[in-house]
A and B are shown apart, each in its own frame.
Chain A
Amino acid sequence: MSDFSQQMASHDWHQVQASFSVISEEQVVTALQKSQQGKSLALDDFKALISPAAAPYLEHMANLSQRFTQQRFGHTTQLFVPLYLSNMCSNICTYCGFSADNKIRRTTLTMAQIEQEALAIKAMGLDHILLVTGESERKVGMSYFEQALGVLAKHFNHISMEVQPLDTEDYVRLAELGVESILVYQETYHREKYAKYHLKGNKSDFDYRLETPDRVGKAGINKLGIGCLLGLEDWRTDAFFVASQLQYLEQKYWQMRYSLSFPRLRPCEGGAPVNSPMSERELVQLICAYRLFNHEVELSLSTRESAVFRDNMLKLGITTMSAGSKTQPGGYANEDKQLEQFSIDDNRSVEQVAAMITDKGYQVVWKDWQTGLNQHLHWC
């Protein structure tokens, strides 16, 4: 059992969930005062800020979130784009378009197709990419990643990966091949319910997934992105565990940078209805609370959200955005929506999103890394 599993065991899901309804306005005000005075917030303060009692204080939270974000990141927004390499998947997950039991056409990009995608993305002006796959160890495993990175490392200064959880030595190898950042979302921290959403395949192993951030940290990866899939279970309780894991990781792997994502469940092929819906107002509350809790963490907002929402969140704590995204393999060089993982909401081009950012008085960060800058460090 990893250290975080042990730490998590000290918080019972049901007790945490029940505690939100008894948080008082006074606790919210105390947390806001601490934040305003520049003091660090404890997990209990974070809980107060995402509780229903904090809802009337949203404007105040947004103001603080904007101030702290500008202080740390300036008037800038970084852009990246996801590159879907494969929709092959041996997992059955009730909410995902790539689920093995969905009758969709499966494809895995060849190296020639990856090169085409890379050129199409470069033509959009982007230098930061996020590689995404389903989980199919035999066809889309380490040897495939090694080949793909051989093609992509020539084109991009910053490569992130959102693929199945891997062993520590695999992460060490990926870093050697130029991967700077790993994203892995727990989806939900509710152990029993997790089993109901992840019916078959490696992903059904709750603990292996929960321990992934530790393996990434031990491998000396430069940046780690975590989060949960909002809408599966009570979002407040899941967000509490995300914040708790972030705090644990920062103390243990102090050389790693961190980012948080907050994907809300989107409709997809064969997908189950959203169990615990989250409103836009609540999502704003969560994003601002994350910022007040941690001034340095990158906060990333994807094209799952609407253009209007994204435009307005630009100034309220977000540091990183995807733009021009296609969620089907090969989508940049060829349009074929049949293969997509989920339908996106903000369909604007990269150019349009960049123009919006400029209009809002922010500078687009196209490049914020240099290939080869970090010689590889690891502690495993």
Chain B
Amino acid sequence: MLDFSVQSHNKLMIAGHQFSSRLFTGSGKFRNSGVMTQALHASGSELVTMSLKRVDLAQRSDDILRPLLANNMKLLPNTSGAKTANDAIFAAQLAREALSTNWIKLEIHPDPKYLMPDPIETLKAAEELVNDGFVVLPYIHADPVLAKRLEDVGCQAVMPLGAPIGSNKGLVSHDFLKIIIEQANVPVIIDAGIGAPSHAAYAMELGADAVLINTAMAVSPDPVAMARAFSMAVDSGRMAYLAGLATTNSHAIATSPLTAFLD
């Protein structure tokens, strides 16, 4: 039997940092900071993304940054709101200076309606930020070629979407996610669109290295219980992936072997 708890060799490493939990979380949309903090604890998450535009870097007294800092969460500032590579680079530099972290979730979405990431600007910004010493985790479409290009310029992970941000539609991009996972030499974190623990489990079963959840947790009537459910789903999906899923068949297998005549 597979003992999941002792699989230290399966811990997730990104840029030399080891994560026990493969569930990453966001900090937006919660009803208050108390609920956010409890949900993040219940999730077991060790990496929390927060929007640079949303936090008060000068005062550090807002409802998002203060509890995250107080609870010693590892922060993953994101560049949401950026429409161009230059915007994102500006945001990343501001975040590094204010929060003392060189980790950045690179998000460039010029389309404010569906928040679709811009592949051209993302690649451009990623290259510059990597050269400037950042650990860059780019949010992208489920585009296998772009994922490889970002890996080539030095991104430490890629974050392809399952579905549009906040849509809770699940892994509508799963065929392309499979290709990304198959080809990647850096961790693949499925970001955006995961709306239910079953979606998260499925992402992990596919071989994703981690998932990032925000809306499905924050908007749930019980974010704390939902955070726990996601944590279990991620563990379960990872365990299933490691155990090796049995193959499925859409038709019965003949009881009399077709090649018996060769014996």
**Chain A contacts to B: CB under 8 angstroms:** 70-76, 127, 157, 250, 254-257, 296, 358, 361-370, 372-375, 377
Q: Are A373 and B56 in contact (CB under 8 A)?
A: no
Instruction: Please give the distance in Å from B251's CB to the nearest CB on chain A.
Output: 33
Q: Which one of B85-93, B134-142, B143-151, B253-261 contacts A?
A: B85-93
Chain A residue, CB-CB nearest to B33? A363
The reply to whether A358 and B32 form a contact with Cβ atoms under 8 Å apart is yes
What are the residues of chain A within 8 A of B112 when measuring CB–CB? Answer: 255-257, 296
In the complex, are the beta carbons of A373 and B53 less than 8 A apart? yes
Complex Cα spacing A377 to B52, Å: 21
Pairs A–B under 8 Å by Cβ, sample size 25: A70-B219, A71-B166, A72-B166, A157-B53, A254-B111, A256-B112, A257-B112, A296-B113, A358-B32, A361-B32, A363-B31, A364-B63, A365-B54, A367-B56, A367-B62, A368-B53, A369-B53, A369-B81, A373-B82, A373-B87, A373-B91, A374-B82, A374-B83, A374-B84, A375-B90
Q: Does B76 contact A (CB under 8 A)?
A: no
* Chain B positions within 8 Å of A366 at CB level: 56, 62
Find out whether the CB atom of B63 lies under 8 angstroms from the CB atom of A363. Answer: yes
Q: From residue B60, how far is it (CB to closest CB) to chain A in Å?
A: 12
Please give, as numbers and ranges, the residues of chain B lying within 8 Å of A255 by CB-CB distance. 83, 110-112
In the bound complex, how far is the Cα of B52 from the Cα of A273, in angstroms? 47
Are the C-beta atoms of B54 and A368 separated by less than 8 Å?
A: yes
Docked Cα-Cα span, A76 to B94, in Å, equals 25
B158 at the interface (CB under 8 A from A): no
- Per the bound structure, the CA–CA distance linking A157 and B52 in Å amounts to 12
B33-53, CB under 8 A of A: which get 1 and which 0? Answer: 100000000000000000011
Residue from A257, A363, A364 having most chain B Cβ neighbours under 10 A = A363
Whether B173 is near chain A, meaning CB under 8 Å from some CB there, is no
Query: Is B218 engaged at the interface, CB distance under 8 Å to the other chain?
Result: yes
Partner of A375, one of B84, B168, B218: B84
Tell me if B91 and A75 are in contact (CB < 8 A): no
Q: Given A255-B111, A374-B81, do A367 and B87 touch, yes or no (CB 8 Å)?
A: no
A-B CB pair tally, cutoff 8 Å? 82
Q: Which residue of A lies closest to B79 (CB)?
A: A373
Closest chain B residue to A296 by CB distance?
Answer: B113
- 14 A-B pairs besides A255-B83, A367-B53, A373-B87 with CB distance below 8 A are A72-B166, A73-B29, A75-B30, A76-B29, A127-B56, A257-B112, A363-B31, A368-B53, A368-B54, A369-B53, A370-B53, A372-B94, A374-B82, A375-B90
Least Cβ–Cβ distance between B30 and chain A, in angstroms = 6
Contacts of A75 in B (CB 8 A): 29-31, 218-219
B206 at the interface (CB under 8 A from A): no
- Interface residue SS majority, chain A: loop
B26 nearest CB neighbor, chain A only? A74
User: Whole-angstrom distance between the alpha carbons of A50 and B32 in the complex?
Assistant: 34
Asked if B215 CB lies within 8 Å of chain A CBs, one says yes
CA distance A15 to B86 in the complex (A): 49
In the bound complex, residues from chain B placing their C-beta under 8 Å from that of A254 are 111, 113
Closest to A358 in B: B32
> Cβ of A373 and Cβ of B81 under 8 Å apart?
yes
Residue numbers in B under 8 Å from A157 (CB-CB): 53
- Of all chain B residues, which has the CB nearest A250? B113
B30 near A363 with CB under 8 A, answer yes
B residues near A72, Cβ cutoff 8 Å: 166
Q: Nearest A residue to B169 by beta-carbon distance?
A: A38
- 6 smallest CB-CB distances across A and B, nearest first, come from A74-B29, A75-B31, A370-B53, A257-B112, A375-B86, A361-B31
Contact partners of B110 in chain A: CB under 8 A = 255
B229 within 8 A of A: no
Given A71-B219, A370-B81: A363 and B32 interface contact (C-beta under 8 Å): yes
* B28 interfacial by beta-carbon distance below 8 Å: yes
Nearest CB on B from A317, distance (A): 15
A residues near B219, Cβ cutoff 8 Å: 70-71, 74-75
Cβ of B55 under 8 Å from chain A: yes
> Smallest CB-CB separation from B36: which chain A residue?
A363
Partner of B83, one of A250, A358, A361, A377: A377
Is A74's CB under 8 angstroms from B54's CB? no
Task: Write the chain B residue with the least CB distance to A367.
Answer: B56
- Closest approach, in angstroms, between the C-beta of A52 and any C-beta of chain B? 31
CB neighbours (8 Å) of B166 from chain A are 71-72
CA A129 – CA B28 in complex, angstroms? 22
Taking a contact as CB atoms closer than 8 A, the residue among B91, B111, B113 that contacts A370 in the complex is: B91
Bound CA–CA A363/B67 (angstroms): 14
Complex partner residue of B168 from A71, A127, A363, A364, CB under 8 angstroms: A71
- B87 near A375 with CB under 8 A, answer yes
Are B218 and A74 touching (Cβ within 8 A)? yes
- Chain B 187-232 residues near chain A, CB threshold 8 A: 215, 218-219
Smallest Cβ-Cβ distance to B165: which chain A residue: A72
In the complex, A364→B52 CA distance in Å?
Answer: 17
Q: Which residues of B contact A358 (CB under 8 A)?
A: 32
